[in-house]
């Protein structure tokens, strides 16, 4: 909430987190996540809270919330393994999930899987199917995305499918 930057996880599946304070040009080590992660995705959401999910390592089947006063909490209401990893054919377990903060405070998970999900962070968290799927045969693994307006996301590139990934020029 104050503009500091958090970096968590990384090579060799580390569980550490660090915060960069732009005002003092310093890095400070914060409390460790509950599991090591590499290739995780992290999203900042209201009141200085941070959400992270998946990645390779001991944290690949979980989601966590960080808060400055309490540190990292495993969100047991978001069973990432059984809700996403075990049911999505071809999903690479240690790949960055596409996550973005929605205008209403929920987090949208929109790939690289066919099924999209809504995530909430209150209490132990929740995950529900959004009712939508990624259109057509586009599989955005190795693609990129950007929020270009409030509640609007552009996804570009990726693979043609989940197993053989020649470049795909699809955008949506």
**Chain mean pLDDT for the chain:** 84
Over residues 4-14, mean pLDDT: 90
pTM: 0.85
How far apart, in whole angstroms, are the C-alpha atoms of residue 56 and residue 40?
7
pLDDT for residue 91 = 64
Element (H, E) at 2: none
pLDDT above 80 (res 85): no
Q: Which residue has the tokens 């001991």?
A: 58
User: Angle 109-28-52 (CA atoms, 0-180°, nearest 5)?
Assistant: 10
How far apart, in whole angstroms, are the C-alpha atoms of residue 49 and residue 69?
10
């Amino acid at each position: 909430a104050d503009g500091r930057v958090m970096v968590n996880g990384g090579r060799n599946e580390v569980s550490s987190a660090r915060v960069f304070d732009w005002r003092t040009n310093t890095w400070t080590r914060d409390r460790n996540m509950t599991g090591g992660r590499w290739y995780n995705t992290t999203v900042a959401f209201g009141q200085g809270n941070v959400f992270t999910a998946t990645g390779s390592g001991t944290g690949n089947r979980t989601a966590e919330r960080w808060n400055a006063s309490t540190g990292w909490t495993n969100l047991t209401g978001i069973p990432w393994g059984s809700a996403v990893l075990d049911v999505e054919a071809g999903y690479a377990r240690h790949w960055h999930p596409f996550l973005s903060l929605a205008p209403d405070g929920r987090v949208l998970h929109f790939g690289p899987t066919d099924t999209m999900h809504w995530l909430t962070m209150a209490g132990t968290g929740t995950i529900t199917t959004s009712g939508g799927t990624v259109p057509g045969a586009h599989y955005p693994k190795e693609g990129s995305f950007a929020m270009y307006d409030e509640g609007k996301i552009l996804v570009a590139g990726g693979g043609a499918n989940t197993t053989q990934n020649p470049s795909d020029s699809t955008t949506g």
